[in-house]
Amino acid sequence: MNTRISVVACGLMALAACSSNPPPPDWPAEAKGSSERATEAWLSGDNRIEAAEFGRARAEVARTGQVALVARLELLRCATRVASLVVEPCAGFDALAQDAAPAEQAYARYLAGTAQAGDAALLPEVHRGLVGNAAPDAALVAIQDPLSQLVAAGVLFRSGRATPGVVATALDTASARGWRRPLLAWLKVQQQRAQAAGDAAAAAALQRRIDLVAPPR
pLDDT digits (tens, 9 = 90+) for 80-137: 999 999 999 999 999 999 999 999 999 999 999 999 899 999 999 999 988 878 788 9
Determine the average pLDDT of the residues in 9-14: 54
pLDDT at 199: 97
- How many structural domains is the chain composed of? 1
Distance, CA of 86 to CA of 18 (rounded, Å): 38
Q: What is the model's pTM? A: 0.86
Across the chain, mean pLDDT equals 90
pLDDT at 15: 41
Can you give the residue range of the structural domain that contains 22? 4-213
pLDDT at 140 over 60: yes
Residue 13 pLDDT grade (very low, low, confident, very high; cuts 50, 70, 90):
low
Assess contact for 51 and 29: CB atoms under 8 A. Answer: no
Report residue 8 CA to chain centroid gap.
12
Distance, CA of 47 to CA of 184 (rounded, Å): 15
Q: What residues contact residue 173 under an 8 Å CB cut-off, 6+ apart? A: 146, 149, 150, 153
pLDDT at 3: 54
Which tens digit of pLDDT belongs to each residue from 142-201? 999 999 999 999 999 999 999 999 999 999 999 999 999 999 999 999 999 999 999 999
Which tens digit of pLDDT belongs to each residue from 20-46? 567 788 888 999 999 999 999 999 999
Residue 1 pLDDT grade (very low, low, confident, very high; cuts 50, 70, 90):
very low
Distance, CA of 75 to CA of 87 (rounded, Å): 14
pLDDT at 6: 56
